[in-house]
Amino acid sequence: MIELKNVTRRFGQTVAVDHIDLTVETGEVCVLVGSSGCGKSTTLRMINRLLPASSGEILVDGEDVTGMDLQRLRLNMGYAIQGTGLFPHWSVARNIALVPRLLKWPKERIDARVTELLQMLEMDPASFADKYPQQLSGGQAQRVGVARALAADPNILLMDEPFGALDAITRENLQLEMLRLQRQLKKTTVFVTHDIDEALRLATRIAVMDQGRIVQHDTPENILRRPASDFVENLVGKQDRGLKLMALRPVRDLMTPHDKPRPAEPGADGLKEDDSLRLALSVMLWQDLRQVAVFDHQGNETGVLLRERLIEGGV
C-alpha cells in the first residue's frame, strides 16, 4: 500500500504538486492522468525519491520513505519509463537482470528468471536474450523495459508513461498485455499517462490531476458517470461517454448464457466473453446482426448477446 499525505513539491517559486492526499491499495492499479505539467510525473518520482517531497509524508506499507535506505527502497519498486531507458551497451538479458544482479542473486536463478520473463512477455528467449536494445522495435524495447521492472518480483510497480512513445496499435497490444500480467501478478501499480483511454482501460482507480492537485480519485466507471468538475468531464469526453462506459464492461455481463456450453460449429463467427460491449456493438452495427454468439477460451459457445439487451443495459 502506498499513502501520500499532504504531499507538496515546489520547484523554486512554482508549486508542481500541491498538498495532495492519495492512497493506493495493495494490488490495485492507480492511474494518474492529466495534461502535461499537471504534476503527475512529479508525484510518481516522489514515491521512489528520485525527487524529494518538499513537505508531507509518503508511506510505503506504513513506512515513511524519507527514512528508508534509498537503494533498498528502489530495489523493491519496479520502474519503467517512456523511452525505456534500457542500457544500450547491455544485451536484453543483462538489462533484464539488472536488479537481480544488484540484489546478488545466484547466476542460475538470474538466468532462469530472465528466460521466464521473456516467455511471459511473449518474446522468444533464444532469439532475444543476446540482442541489444537498438536492435529491437519500439514495442519490443518497451516489453523489455517492463520485464526489467518486474525482474526481481517487486511489490510495487511505478510506470511513467511507459507506452507514450509507441504507435497506437503497439500501444494497445501492450496495454492488453499489461492487463493480462496484472491479473496474474497483482502488483501495486502507479501508472502515469496523459491518455484518458489508456487510464480507463488499465486503472482500478484513476486520479485525475490538474495544476498540482487531484481533482477526482475514483473508479473508471464513476469518473465517467459522475465527473467531479467540468475539467474531468472535458477530459473524459462529454459526448462519447456512453461508448467509453461500454468499453469497460465485458460481454459476459450481458450475454444470455446457454444451459450448457456447446461445441462451436466449424467456421462459426462471434465474440469472446472477455470482449468489451463496445466491440460487441460495433460488430452488430457493422454486420447488421440482431444477436451474436459468444465463445469461451476453449472455443465453446457459451451464450448469445442480444442487440436489445445491449442497447438497454449497456450503459
Partner 1 sequence: MRIWRTPVLWLAVLLALTLGMDGLEPLFRLIQPDTQSVIYQRETFLFLLGNHVLLVLISATIGTFAAVAGGIFATRPSGRDFLPLVSQIASIGQTFPPVAVLALAVPVLGFGEGPTLVALVLYGLLPVLRNTLAGLDGIDPAVTEAARGMGMSARQVLFQVEIPLAGRVILAGIRTSVTINIATAAIGSTIGARTLGDPVIAGLVNGNTAYVLQGALLIGLLALMTDSLFEALEKLWARRLAPTVSPA
Cell of 65: 520513505
> Tell me, what amino acid is at 190?
V
User: Nearest distance from residue 191's CB to partner 1, in Å?
Assistant: 15
The answer to the question of residue 314 lying near partner 1 (CB under 8 A) is: no
Q: How far is CA 102 from CA 1, 72, 75, 138, in A?
A: 24, 10, 8, 26
Binding mask 19-48 for partner 1 (x = CB under 8 A): -----------------------------x
Instruction: Supply φ then ψ for residue 260, to 5 degrees.
Output: -145, 150
Which residues, 6 or more positions from 308, have their beta carbon under 8 angstroms from its beta carbon?
Answer: none
266, with CB counted inside 10 A (0-12, 13-18, 19+), is exposed
Nearer to partner 1, 159 or 251 (CB): 159
- Smallest gap, in angstroms, from Cβ of residue 99 to partner 1? 6
Nearer to partner 1 by C-beta: 28 or 160?
Answer: 160
Q: Which amino acid is at 192?
A: V
For residue 219, the tally of other CB atoms under 10 A from its CB is 14
> Which CB atom, from 86 or from 255, has the smaller least distance to partner 1?
86
Evaluated on CA atoms 65, 155, 125, 161, the torsion sign reads negative
The single residue among 37, 83, 164, 314 that binds partner 1, judged by CB under 8 A, is: 83
Span near partner 1 by CB under 8 A; candidates 54-62, 78-86, 169-177, 203-211: 78-86
Q: Which is nearer to partner 1, 48 or 216 (CB)?
A: 48
**Residue span binding partner 1 (CB under 8 A) among the ranges 85-93, 182-190, 261-269, 292-300:** 85-93
* 295 touches partner 1 (CB under 8 A): no
Beta bridge partners of 79: 158
For cell 440482431, what's the residue? 290
By CB under 8 A, tell whether 269 contacts partner 1.
no
* Listed ranges 12-20, 97-105, 213-221, 290-298: which one lies at the site for partner 1 (CB under 8 A): 97-105
Candidates 14-22, 81-89, 193-201, 297-305: pick the segment binding partner 1 (CB under 8 A).
81-89
In the list 1, 59, 68, 75, the residue contacting partner 1 (rule: CB under 8 A) is 75
Q: Which is nearer to partner 1, 15 or 75 (CB)?
A: 75
In this structure, are strands 205-210 and 29-33 parallel, antiparallel, or unpaired?
Answer: parallel
**Of 9-17, 80-88, 199-207, 209-217: span binding partner 1 (CB under 8 A):** 80-88
CA 52 to CA 23: how far, in whole Å? 18
CA distances from 162 to 77, 224, 251, 314 (A): 15, 24, 29, 31
Cell numbers found for residue 101:
544482479
Whole-angstrom distance, CA of residue 289 vs CA of residue 62: 54
Per-residue contact flags (x/-) with partner 1 for residues 114 to 153, judged by CB under 8 A: ----------------xxx-xx---------x--xx----
Q: Contact positions toward partner 1, by CB under 8 A?
A: 48, 50, 70-75, 77, 79, 81-89, 98-99, 102, 130-132, 134-135, 145, 148-149, 158
